[in-house]
Structure 1
Amino acid sequence: MQYAIGPILYFWPRTEVEAFYQEIAKSDADIVYLGETVCNKRRELKASDWIALAKAVAACGKQVVLSTQALLQAPSEINELQRYCDNGEFMIEANDVGAIELIRAQKLPFVCGPAINAYNAATLKVLIGQGMRRYVMPVELSRDWLQSLLNELEAPLRESLEVEVFAYGHLPLAYSARCFTARSLNRGKDDCQLCCLDYPEGRLVKSQEGQPVFVLNGIQTQSGQCYNLSQDQTSMEELVDVIRISPSYQQTLQVLERFKQAAQGEKSPLGDDVNGYWHQLAGLKQQL
């Protein structure tokens, strides 16, 4: 089993992003994803900066993947996407079918990110034919769904495909042209004043009863509770090749260590974290 650090989903200052990847480069992670996947207004780092960071992390022995934006809304964003795809060195995680088309035109392999709704074997076969080498399962699917899906693939296709599961973090559930973080502060999207910088782990929304419901992260809506499959790694055997840990502001390396300890049989309580989707339950449920 390999462990991947997913792309940073939040808006952090450039200095903090660079410091984060300096730590990750020295960590026990096998794969590192870099790039802006949520909002093109987050311009503290441009494509050239991400590629430079990728080279620094790769020099430390990590497999590096550049992640693309999930919702493209302007020609400038297409141009930025093209720069990612033309990097000439690193594999791309496509989070939009436009990225797949650009990569396919160059006959390059790619990772199919969790923002692409690939739910059935027919879709996987098409994507494999276009160059997909790793499939990141959509976050709301279950282990049983994944098992059934992979069973439908012919042996040569299954053997050619790596499977990755989003196993820790607030789940990215939806994307919108509207910026909900700005709206929550009574600002329009065009006058957001880069307010996401004030919420390095998103802005929590609770129900009237005080239950966490969602996390607002710009145009992305996330689960209110943290998804945690650290205690479910045994059930991933022979199904999953890569476990993804989504970066958090303070404890990413500690989470990675806990996952590795759990893989060795060490049990620890999930606390308020949830794992419902993996068990084909409501997402906010916890299966012990």
Structure 2
Amino acid sequence: MHTQPKLSLGPVLYYWAKDQLLDFYEEMAAAPVDIIYLGETICSKRNLMRTDDWFSLAERLAAAGKEVVFSTLALLEAESELKRLRRLCENGVHMVEANDMGAVQLMRGKPFVAGHSVNIYNDRTLSLLARQGLRRWVFPVELSSQTLQTMQERRPAGVETELFAFGRLPLAYSARCFTARAFNLPKDDCQYRCLDFPDGLTLAAQDDTRFLALNGIQTQSAHTFNLLPELEQVRALGVDVLRISPQANHTAKVVGLFSGCIKGEIDLITACEKLERLVPVGSCNGYWHGAAGMENRAQAAAESLM
């Protein structure tokens, strides 16, 4: 019998108003998630929440019984960003999710989580980071279940595996702000246009196929990656943590469906049907199957039976 995976709530990847963010985490404090990641991972200009605000929020969530982890920026570009990074890494209470090698270096010798953007593609890298303090790693979103199986077989003792299981896929980062560019604005005078797009700015091809979303310097998939239909395989692979990436609406319902399926309280097929109605565009899982990322193999299999 396989151990049931825990549920985590990844950092909010979008720029939300401070009140919206605080209301969201008040709701999540009562949600059936075990781990909550806090912090800005995309752009340091998104500073409606200061570092001290994140520390205060962490205290409240920890008091509610949640394991809190501070997430760091994926791309550092200024000394001010490095100063904030040092404060997070030296907080002395909560673990840190390192999202670039600079954060890994600062956390060396202390327990830390490696985010998906650290790009751990083989067991040698995993073992190297484990010797430096790695206690949990997030499997890169573009790799397949077959690769995960190999990595799990060679995973160092004492290291947990976390799987990005729901949310728009984080695909790439750039020093250029694509949201500002979409409005012919320079990055240094972006007018905080990200606030207008609480789930990112969806892009469509000339045939109206929606395939990407812009989120400041981050490029995401337009479709929502969803591994709930693969829950039994995920269990068999010995995954320790399933990550749900927050979206502007229905995150609590998403958490409830995942939690209910893990505990056996909700029928998996019924939950998957409900989940499909909660995503902004549609679902995908191609990378998990070693295919094009925007494909939905679960949907294709269902349609073939009709």
Is TM (by shorter chain) over 0.5? yes
Alignment partners' CA distance in 1, 2:258 and 2:20: 24
Match of 2:293, SS?
A: coil
Match of 1:102 in 2: 106
**C-alpha distance after superposition, 1:89-108 (max 9, x if no partner):** 0000000110011111xx21
User: How do 1:163-178 residues align onto structure 2 when only pairs under 5 Å count?
Assistant: 163-178=161-176
Aligned residues: 282
Runs of 4+ in structure 1 deviating by more than 4 angstroms, as ranges, are none
Alignment partners' CA distance in 2, 1:224 and 1:209: 15
Match of 1:214 in 2: 212
Q: 2:30 is aligned with what amino acid? A: K
**How far does residue 276 in structure 1 lie from its aligned partner after superposition?**
1.0
Match of 2:64, SS?
A: coil
- Equivalent position to 2:70, from 63, 66, 71: 66
Q: Which runs of 5+ in 1 are unaligned?
A: none
Match of 1:130 in 2: 132
Alignment partners' CA distance in 1, 2:89 and 2:49: 17
Q: TM-score when scaled to structure 2?
A: 0.90
Matched, 1:6 2:6: no
Match of 1:160, SS?
A: coil
Contact 2:31 2:256 in 1 (8 A): no
Alignment partners' CA distance in 2, 1:221 and 1:116: 16
RMSD of Structure 2 on Structure 1 (CA) = 1.1
Match of 1:35 in 2: 39
User: How do 1:137-152 residues align onto structure 2 when only pairs under 5 Å count?
Assistant: 137-152=139-154
Match of 1:287 in 2: 297
Contact 1:196 1:202 in 2 (8 A): yes
Contact 1:231 1:262 in 2 (8 A): no
**How far does residue 281 in structure 1 lie from its aligned partner after superposition?**
1.2
Alignment partners' CA distance in 1, 2:151 and 2:28: 33
**How far does residue 109 in structure 1 lie from its aligned partner after superposition?**
0.1
Instruction: Give the fraction of aligned pairs with identical amino acids, expressed as a percent.
Output: 46
Match of 2:288 in 1: 278
**C-alpha distance after superposition, 1:250-270 (max 9, x if no partner):** 111100111123332421336
Matched, 1:243 2:242: yes
Match of 1:252 in 2: 251
Match of 2:301 in 1: none
Q: Which runs of 5+ in 2 are unaligned?
A: 277-281, 299-306
